[in-house]
Structures are given as C-alpha cells and as structure tokens.
Amino acid sequence: MKNNNNPADPDQLPRAPESVVAYDAEHFANAVVPPIFQNSLFTFENFDEMVETYAGRKTRPVYSRGLNPTTRAFEEKIAQLERTEDALGLASGMAAISSAVLSVVKPGDRIVSVEHCYPDAFRFFEMFLRDMNVRVDYVDGRDLDAVRKIMPGAKVLYLESPTSWTFHTHDIAALCQIARDHGAVSMIDNSWASPVFCQPATLGCDVVIHSASKYIGGHSDVVAGVIAGSNEFIGRVRSHILPYLGAKLSAFDGWLLLRGLRTLPARMREHQRSATIIARNLANHPKVTAVHYPGLMEPAAPGLSGSSGLFSFEFAPEVDIPTFVDALRFFKIGVSWGGHESLIVPALVTRAQVGGPNSAIRFGVPENLVRLHIGLESAEDLWSDLATAIEASLK
C-alpha cells in the first residue's frame, strides 16, 4: 500500500498505463487532494491535437463518459490495491457486475455462478441474461468436484466469497484454476473483503469487482462500482460496453471514493476488531444457534487475510425476531453496509419481497437468520445493545 497516500505528489502518482496521463499533479498546485474535474468535456489546443486524439495516437480526456482525471485517479489506485494492470470506475456495483459479464457473454452461452451470490446479481442472471438466451447454472462453490463437473462449456465462473447472507467462503485459487482449465473467465465480487483483506488477482482471478458503495466509499454517501483486471479485459469493457451502456463513475463520486480509500485500511481493522468481539459473544450466547462469521471459521479461508464487519447468525426459536429488531437502539434497520453505522436486516423480511420463485432459490436461508453490519461505534455499546434486545424479546 505504499505510494498511495499522496496522489498530488508526482513521485507518488500511481503508474498509469503508458498511454493514459489524465491527472497531472504539477498543474494543480500540488493539491494534496485531487481536484474534482466537474466538467463534461475537455477542449483541444488546436486542430492537430484533436486529430491525434481521434486517431488514437494521443490519449487525453475528451468527454467524461470516457476519461475524467478525477475518476482516473481512483481507477489507478484500485488497480494498484488489487494488483491488476488496470481498473474502470462505474456508476454502481451492479453496473460493474453487468458490464463485466456482458463484455464476455453472447446469446447461447452459459455461465456458472456460486450459490447465494448478491441478490441483484442473481436477478440480473435470472431475468436479464435468461431473456438474452444465456443460461446460468448455480453450484456450491465449496464443492470443487461439483464445480469441475459443471464447468465444461461455460464462459464465466462467477464468484463471491464469502457469499451474501450465508457467508460461505471458498478456495478462490482452486476455483480460478478450474475456470482456467476450462478456458472460462473467472470473476469475483470482492466487496466484502475489500482489497485490504483479499486481492483475488494474486490468487489467479481474472476480474475483480467491487460495489464501491460499501467499504471503499465507507461513508454511506456514494453509490459506485469498479472492475479491476488485465489491460485487455478492462480495455474491452472500456471500448465495447462502457460507451454504449454509459454507466460511468461520476467525477464527484470518484472524489468521494478517493477520500474513502485514504482511511480504508484503518476502517477495515476496526470493523474486524469489533465484529470479532460481537461474533464471539453471539457464538457463546445460549439463544444463538449458529454464527456465520468468516473470522471465526476453522480453518481460516485460504487467501483471506482478515474479516470485515458483515455477517449473519441464527436465533433459537424462543427469540421473537420482530421484537428483537425493534428493541435495538444503536443498530439501524436497513440494507447496504460498509459505512460508519451498524445495521441489521432479518431474513424474515425477505418473505415479503417480490420476486416469486427467484427469491426462493436465492433465500435458501433459514428465517431465523439475521444479518448484522458492525460499524465503527464502540463494540461495547453495540454488544450491550444486542444483549439487552435479546433479553427483551424472549417469548
């Protein structure tokens, strides 16, 4: 993570791919924080410069849907953190997921996804890809033999580790090797671990995706996404998908994400510290029957150097979950995660969610399951809030 603290110092500027020099610190008074280039277009010096740029002999910002210096500074930092050649910022995590997948699949193709991936990724597969005649098969990513069996002919192996709601962890290196053996592109949603706790590219993963709305942004004030991968893969998304679907990361959001990155390692350490305390206390609580926190799993998941603040647990039948949720004072009731605030979502509410049979596949999770995001408040206060609410909700 060195060379990553002062984007305005030219010596510390992230290495851009040779052709892209979008943020030139010297021209901006060595500002310690990169400026927000809040403009749609960039004008040319003269006729020749425009011709050189259009001919592809010169790369410079032309229009912010393509290249913007602020978003470019963010992309370069993500590529460094994820140990990939390049990265591309998008308007949301879902834009990153759909753009990455759509850059590979054609009608008639088939892809394989691990079970319990992010619910809207699942709906994108089931509703959107299905309509374009792309088949998606789901597999338990913990069962390498099952993955080997289902991979032949698939174009993509789509991973998320740990998975949403159930927090199953995977052997990412082994799964990506299987994808490679079958000529498939491996992609992983790395939002949960963040690049601080996992760098999937170092484990052989081709494409790393984040909802930057979560830990990377870290302040619950931005919706954004990013794809990291080889020059070839990112170049393809940049040239074949981004201009036409158009879901580019905005300059202001890019600036918020650059700010988020500066505290990411410190925040991740604190989320881990508090979540470990609370997950341990829950595991020892007589009214809790299971805790799904990767940080408590033995043996630890390979490739994961830490555990973030999001996990789930299951209550014994004596606990009335609606009463418990309403008894909490510090945990707010809400989706998303990754910011300062602690949050709770009970699996029970998904019963009311529209989506028919799709939600049944997705929520093959027990209704006594509760998901927590442990924020940056005092762990002692959070634990006493949970313990008091459990006492208050015994049937």
Ligand X SMILES: *Cc1c(COP(=O)(O)O)cnc(C)c1O
Which stretches does DSSP call E strand in the chain?
86-90, 110-114, 135-139, 156-160, 185-189, 207-211, 225-229, 288-292, 310-315, 332-333, 343-346, 369-373
| Minimum separation from the CB atom of position 290 to ligand X (A) | 21
CB 215 within 8 A of CB 308: yes
Residue span binding ligand X (CB under 6 A) among the ranges 42-50, 89-97, 244-252, 378-386: 89-97
CB 218 within 8 A of CB 269: no
Q: How far apart are CA 43 and CA 56, in angstroms?
A: 16
Q: Which of residues 140-169 bind ligand X (CB under 6 A)?
A: 164
| Minimum separation from the CB atom of position 310 to ligand X (A) | 8
Q: How far apart are CA 246 and CA 234, in angstroms?
A: 15
> Helix or strand or coil: residue 317?
coil
User: 91 vs 147, which CB is nearer to ligand X?
Assistant: 91
| Minimum separation from the CB atom of position 252 to ligand X (A) | 16
By CB under 6 A, tell whether 223 contacts ligand X.
yes
Selection from 70, 116, 119, 63 nearest residue 93 by Cα: 119
- The DSSP string of 342-389 is -EEEEGGGGGGSS-THHHHHHT-S-TTEEEEE--SS-HHHHHHHHHHH
Give, as one character, the DSSP assignment of residue 28.
G
| Minimum separation from the CB atom of position 183 to ligand X (A) | 26
| Token pair for 1 | 């993570």
The position carrying tokens 């319990």 is: 116
Assess whether 189 carries a catalytic annotation.
yes
Residue span binding ligand X (CB under 6 A) among the ranges 12-20, 106-114, 206-214, 293-301: 206-214
By CB under 6 A, tell whether 307 contacts ligand X.
no
By CB under 6 A, tell whether 253 contacts ligand X.
no
Assess whether 351 carries a catalytic annotation.
no
| Minimum separation from the CB atom of position 94 to ligand X (A) | 4
Selection from 309, 201, 322 nearest residue 264 by Cα: 309
Among 86, 189, 206, 385, binds ligand X (CB under 6 A): 189
Q: Which of 23, 110, 118, 385 is catalytic?
A: 118
Assess whether 123 carries a catalytic annotation.
no
Q: Which of residues 96-135 bind ligand X (CB under 6 A)?
A: 118
User: 36 vs 212, which CB is nearer to ligand X?
Assistant: 212
Assess whether 86 carries a catalytic annotation.
no
Q: Which of 77, 214, 248, 371 is catalytic?
A: 214
Q: Which of 65, 142, 262, 273 is catalytic?
A: 65
| Token pair for 194 | 């963040």
Among 25, 73, 88, 94, binds ligand X (CB under 6 A): 94
By CB under 6 A, tell whether 211 contacts ligand X.
yes
Could you give the residue numbers annotated as active site?
65, 118, 189, 214
Could you list the residues that contact ligand X (CB under 6 A)? 92-94, 118, 164, 189, 191, 211, 213-214, 223, 225
